[in-house]
Amino acid sequence: MFRYFPTNYVWNLSVGLAIEMGARIGEIEEMCGPLQEAAKQPDAAGTQAFRETWSKMADKLCSLAQEDEAQGRLLSAGEKYSRASSYLITCERLQAHDAPGRLDMYKRCLELFARSLELTKDKCTRVEIPYEGKHIAGLFIPADNVSGPAPVLVQVNGLDSTKEMKYRVGLPAWLAKRGVASLIIDQPGTGEALRLQGLTARYDSEHWASRVVDWLETRADVDARRIGMEGVSLGGYYCPRAVAFEPRFACGVAWGANHDWRDVQKRRLEKEGDFPVPHYWAHVRWVWGAKDMDEFMTIAEHVHLDGVLDRIKVPFLVTHGEKDSQIPLKWAYRTYEQLVNSPKRELKIFTEREGGVQHASFDNSMNAGQYIADWVAETLGGQVA
């Protein structure tokens, strides 16, 4: 794990995620160099300092991109807008949910991300899936070199990631080369669903996952018999739950097992394990729509997979980092052990040899992500060579 800040796991996690999204090391140094003392400060003061340096870099990149555009160098401009968007989403996720200007920052992330796609001509299209009188926003990435309907992997966030972050990390591109399309969504409690639609998280993830499958079944470029789902971090709970109760999914992948999130919350109250974001308890109450801690802990009691996984009758891959400091490794074994009716269950623990040993492999997502892409391609009828 790259530890730029010796005493601040949350910031190191953020830097690691930014690198996985394509950050340049020189820009990382320029943003983080002035922050060594701020990294030791309390959440409010520290995150404001982080926001200032990372936003400044985003502004500089946008200025450079505008110069590129003026000269007709649109591909170069698109790359700069891409990194600017990634840097903004990195510092946006660290802010308190009610921090002044946070929502505007998030909207700017979306605008820059969309502009980057437009200029680089990436094969990625924004979609909106009807849900509860509102919509679930997603990104659809087609499979490469496939004639006719293709298999697709639905990809869902964890507690604090967004569809743009998951896109930039790279799994959709690795799948596309293997003949598998991707649909990355901001499910309730994450990204646009939470910030712009007011859709908070719910433990019965099949409620929204089934609507997603309904929508995919209407697409001529999707093989409805070959729809899988992957979830990262807290998605390692959402995904198995959805696959268990929605039989149209053809397979599932947990990128970081999250078998018993209720227990994780109890341990965090005891100061055990690392937090993924500052202002953690305010953040989870916002995500789940809880008015106070008592209501949140009542909701959390439902967020576990005991008594659920024997319903899964399709192939399922459980992955976990050997040194995950957020979610104990024991929960990966628990998930695997309870997949008793899966015809093809696999447990993959990422070790120092291949990398990806930290939470959801944020320390080295490529080897882990391509392992997942290979397994999905083999399971859904893509190709690995």
54 contacts 91 by C-beta, under 8 angstroms: yes
Burial of 235 (0-12, 13-18, 19+ CB in 10 A): buried
The residues pairing with 184 across neighbouring beta strands, listed in sequence order, are: 139, 155
Q: Which helix (H) or strand (E) holds 182?
A: strand 181-185
Q: Which helix (H) or strand (E) holds 127?
A: strand 125-131
How far is CA 90 from each of CA 19, 108, 140, 234, 322, rounded to the nearest angstrom? 10, 13, 22, 18, 25
Sign of CA dihedral 49, 51, 53, 59: negative
Burial of 288 (0-12, 13-18, 19+ CB in 10 A): buried
Q: Please state, in angstroms and rounded to a whole number, the distance separating the CA atoms of residues 258 and 248.
A: 22
What pLDDT score does 21 carry?
A: 96
146, pLDDT greater than 90 = yes
At 273, is the pLDDT very low, low, confident or very high (cuts 50, 70, 90)?
Answer: confident
pLDDT tens digits for 212-236?
A: 999 999 999 999 999 999 999 999 9
Q: Please state, in angstroms and rounded to a whole number, the distance separating the CA atoms of residues 348 and 360.
A: 12
Task: Residue 380: name the closest of 309, 317, 303 by CA.
Answer: 317
What average pLDDT does the segment 59-66 reach? Answer: 98
SS3 112: helix
286 contacts 263 by C-beta, under 8 angstroms: no
For Cα atoms 265, 270, 271, give the angle at the middle one, nearest 5 degrees: 90
Q: Please state, in angstroms and rounded to a whole number, the distance separating the CA atoms of residues 263 and 286.
A: 19
pLDDT tens digits for 29-55?
A: 999 999 999 888 877 778 899 999 999
